[in-house]
Amino acid sequence: MFEKLQRLGKSFMIPIAILPIAGIFLGVGAAFTNPVMVETYNLGAILGPGTILYYILSAMAAIGSAVFGNLALLFAVGIATGLAVQEKGAAGLSAAISFVIFHTSISTILGFLGYNPETTSVDYFLSQGKNAIEAAKLSNVYGYELGIFTVRIGVLGGIIVGLLVAYLTNRYYDKKMPEALSFFAGVRFVPIVSVLIISIVGAIVPFIWPYIHLGISTFSEFFGRTGPVGIFFYGFFMRILNIFGLHHAIYPLFWFTSLGGELEVAGKLIQGGQNIFFAQLADPTVTKFSAEATKYFTGGFLPMMFGLPAAALAMYRAADDKNKKIVGGLLFSAALTSFLTGITEPIEFTFLFVAPLLYGIHAVLEGLSYAVLYALDVSVGVTFSRGIIDFTLFGLLQGNAKTNYIWILILGIPTALIYYFTFKTLITKLNLKTPGRGEDAENKLYTKKDTLLKDVNIEEVIDALGGRDNLVEVDACITRLRITVKDISKVADKELWTSKLKAKGIFKKGSGVQVIYGAMAEVLKNEINKVR
């Protein structure tokens, strides 16, 4: 199971690599084009609609949003290609097609059941006698994916598709068919069987997911109404749901509906935590923002600005010396994204699947942050996340009297120290395979191929496999070259591979050869296929 989790974590690395820059684009663009922020600080002449900066920042926000809005698709393709042992290209294409089919199948069944954008709107449920909270919860079950009306299953849907397609690819990539159907044999059978299976799975989801979604919402509602202890569990629960992107199905209920509280501001009854904060922000008579309204998001400032960057430093310090240069860029960019914008996925996915214990501790510490800041009456607002940008705009510039922001600064260093020493100690004591650790250093980004290949001669590898004419197929999984040869007797023995050719081991069976090369396997495969 541990090895499979490592492979799953590796499969996330390609989509994760784009998340830091996408997070910065989204965070900076969204923060500085937020209408309330522009109006509050009278920046319309510089950042208002029609200005050059507005167009640039809006484009940045749109680009970042496009990436995060399609995480489910990116993970579906990433998991499928990462876990496929053979025919990774076919796996990736099949995953993309299957993801569309998955949600199309869901949408079709929803239509048969009478659910559509009109019959799942808040207004419709209100007309059916539901109260405002019930209507919001029911409407929030449904949404769009790639423009398809479907259920809000988020990244979990992408994970389901990716895992199924990877399994089907590994099982059917060499499928034999009758002569009359030979065109559909082998790799061509993978997208066919994937679409068929995913269609069935998609048809089942509408009968199951709404109940799961509503159950999560009801569970979260209880946490939001039980003081600091409940807020601890709310913060913890939201961080756990973040793994699958399901927090997006919950927090809007607290930010924008009466589930997040009601308060009269400037003579109007405002509902929802974030709505209350921005209404108070626009009211010059307000002398203290409501911590009851901000308790559903203020707690994230400590882990996002201080905790996770410190965790990144711990992972860097715990990496093997030879890999620090490789993982340094990845961890620094992910830490910077978290600090600047409060977007945490880039850094969390670097350790989530290879060291889930660390993620569990992170979730506990985030829950504590929510509880402590709520108990201290801290009320710093947010646009959509909790980085230094929002902290400056809605904490520092508002003054401590209004926000009690000083507690975030006071507790920031202790939070960073707790994260750093907890992560560093557990990584080293338990030998957790975080980025850059271990012989294979599975969860690191690759360096340049010439650096990886400096001790290995491609022509000598080919000769050890019996020469070009002996090669039938050359592929690689995460750590191994996987070669099919014509004559297994022509393949060199273990001694040559482990001494001169720097391999860690070799296995032979039938016409198949597996040579263990760690992270270099994929690069070697590509180089061999270029010259064979």
Tens-place pLDDT, residues 414-426:
999 999 999 999 9
Residue in 409, 299, 316 with CA at minimum distance from that of residue 365:
299
Between CA 249 and CA 204 the distance in angstroms is 20
Q: Helices in 272-323 by DSSP H: which ranges?
A: 273-281, 291-294, 301-302, 308-318
Question: Could you give the 3-state DSSP secondary structure of residue 354?
Answer: coil
Residue type, 205: V
Dihedral of the alpha carbons of 499, 505, 508, 513, in degrees to the nearest 10? -90
What band does 149 get if pLDDT is binned at 50, 70 and 90? very high
Domain encompassing residue 97: 2-223
Percentage of the chain beyond pLDDT 90 is 41
The pLDDT value given to residue 108: 97
Mean per-residue pLDDT, 126-135: 89
Structural domain includes residue 501: yes
Residue ending a domain, among 223, 240, 270, is 223
DSSP string, 404-438: -THHHHHHHHHHHHHHHHHHHHHHHHTT---TT-S
Q: Closest Cα partner for 316 from 437, 451, 438?
A: 437
pLDDT band at 248 (very low <50, low <70, confident <90, very high): low
Residue 293 maps to a domain: no
pLDDT the model gives residue 451:
41
d(C-alpha 297, C-alpha 424), whole Å: 28
Q: In the predicted model, is pLDDT for residue 180 greater than 70?
A: no
Last residue of a domain, one of 178, 195, 223: 223
The total number of structural domains in the chain stands at 2
List C-alpha distances in Å: 519 to 328, 407, 447, 475. Answer: 17, 44, 10, 13
Confidence of residue 35 (pLDDT cuts 50, 70, 90): confident
SS3 281: helix
**pLDDT reported for residue 77:** 92
> CB atoms < 10 A from the CB of 299, how many?
27
444 within a domain of the structure (yes/no): no
pLDDT tens sequence across 1-32: 544 555 665 666 566 667 667 767 877 787 78
Gap between the Cα atoms of 136 and 150, Å rounded:
16
- As a dihedral over the C-alpha atoms of residue 257, residue 261, residue 262, residue 263, rounded to 10 degrees, the angle is -130
- Using one digit for the tens of pLDDT, what is the confidence trace for 361-401? 999 999 999 999 999 999 998 876 789 988 998 899 889 99
Residue 217 maps to a domain: yes
Tell me whether strands 262-265 and 268-271 are parallel, antiparallel or unpaired. antiparallel
Q: How confident is the model at residue 448 (pLDDT cuts 50, 70, 90)?
A: very low
What would the two tokens of residue 313 be?
A: 């430093």
471-476 and 262-265 beta bridge pairing: unpaired
Res. 279 pLDDT band, cuts 50 70 90: confident
Which comes out higher in pLDDT, residue 272 or 360? 360
The region that residue 192 occupies, defined by phi over 0 for left and psi between -120 and 50 for alpha, beta otherwise, is alpha
The CATH number linked to 492 is 3.30.1360.60
Which pTM does this prediction carry?
A: 0.62
State how far the alpha carbon of 208 is from the alpha carbons of 212, 214, 292, in Å: 7, 11, 34
Spatial contact of 133 and 259, defined as CB atoms under 8 Å apart:
yes
* pLDDT reported for residue 12: 62
Catalytic residue among 477, 491, 515, 520: 477
With b meaning 16 or more CB within 10 Å and e meaning fewer, what string describes 303-320? bbbbbbbbbbbbbbebbe
Residue 179 lies in a domain: yes
Whether 480 is covered by a domain: the verdict is yes
Whether 420 maps to a domain, the answer reads no
In whole angstroms, give the CA distance from residue 52 to residue 356.
Answer: 44
pLDDT of amino acid 104: 97
Is 477 a residue of the active site? Answer: yes
Res 205 pLDDT > 60? yes
In a domain, 518, yes or no: yes
319 secondary structure, DSSP code: S
Q: Does the structure show a pLDDT above 70 at 478?
A: no
Query: How many CB atoms lie under 10 A from the CB of residue 431?
Result: 11
Among 190, 208, 223, identify where a domain stops. Answer: 223
Tell me the backbone φ, ψ of residue 483, rounded to 5 degrees: -120, 135
